[in-house]
Amino acid sequence: MLTFYDTPFTARLLLGTAQYPSPAILAEAVRASGAGIVTVSLRRESGGERSGQSFWSLIRELGVRVLPNTAGCHSVKEAVTTAQMAREVFGTSWIKLEVIGEADTLQPDIFGLVEAARILVSEGFDVFPYTTEDLVVAERLVEAGCRVLMPWGAPIGSGRGLNNVYGLRSMRAHFPGIPLVVDAGIGTPSHAAHAMELGYDAVLLNTAVAKAGDPAAMARAFALAIEAGRLAFLADPMTPRDMAAPSTPVLGKAVLA
């Protein structure tokens, strides 16, 4: 059973809610994905003329757990303030913490991330940090009180899949008891399956579903891929070899003189 901050979940797909063509298509995609958690941005909820209220009502109707995020924040102060506001708006201590440090890749500012995580944990938040696959940074986040880690697969919205498989595999081995979620860069269901085959606990994605020609169908495809990847990991896959190995026994083979 997947557990985040003592809350159990059966679904291992977390879905973002931005960029969908319409609220109705978003709702179809969430239902098709079977996701139990969706990420939401405070900026959408607090938009002009309280336009976010209809969106918030839609999310409540879907019956999923909300994970607010600090998307677009570039400083510790901005991220902490956004998290504090999100707790008031959404009524949850959960926060997906993003502190962006580089504009082109949207790579996390790892120094600001750790600092913001310490502050938010001290204020009673359950922090889901969007980070890199760096083990030292991960250690600092755990020391700060984070009980979940969310390393990127590739830059947000790039669809490149898992850029550093070695680093992600090392993180899984280094933190066997901590829930790990690949967040960002997933473009196709095969990318998600690969992450799960590495032993990751879940995958968070948005653009690959929202920008698909048929978001609901793509959401379902991702749900199946994640289930397949998890089953494959639990089944203990074969180890790759450099040489061929015959699958048919040669014992008893006829010998022709």
pLDDT at residue 254 tops 70: no
Query: What domains, with CATH codes, occur in the chain?
Result: 2-235 (3.20.20.70)
- 4 against 45, higher pLDDT: 4
> Residues at the annotated binding site for 1-deoxy-D-xylulose 5-phosphate?
157, 184-185, 206-207
Query: Measured between alpha carbons, how far is 104 from 175 in angstroms, rounded to an integer?
Result: 29
Q: What is the pTM of this model?
A: 0.89
Residue for token digits 């993180």? Answer: 171
- Tens digits of residue pLDDT in 1-26: 899 999 999 999 999 999 999 999 99
DSSP structure string for 47-87: -GGGTHHHHHHHHHHHT-EEEEE-TT--SHHHHHHHHHHHH
Give residue 218's Cα distance to chain centre: 16
> Residues at the annotated binding site?
157, 184-185, 206-207
Cα-based angle 124, 125, 127 (whole degrees, multiple of 5): 145
Residues carrying an active site annotation:
96
- Tens digits of residue pLDDT in 95-132: 999 999 988 888 999 999 999 999 999 999 999 999 99
Q: Checking DSSP bridges between strand 150-151 and strand 181-183, what pairing results, if any?
A: unpaired
Percent of the chain with pLDDT over 90: 77
Query: Measured between alpha carbons, how far is 186 from 92 in angstroms, rounded to an integer?
Result: 27
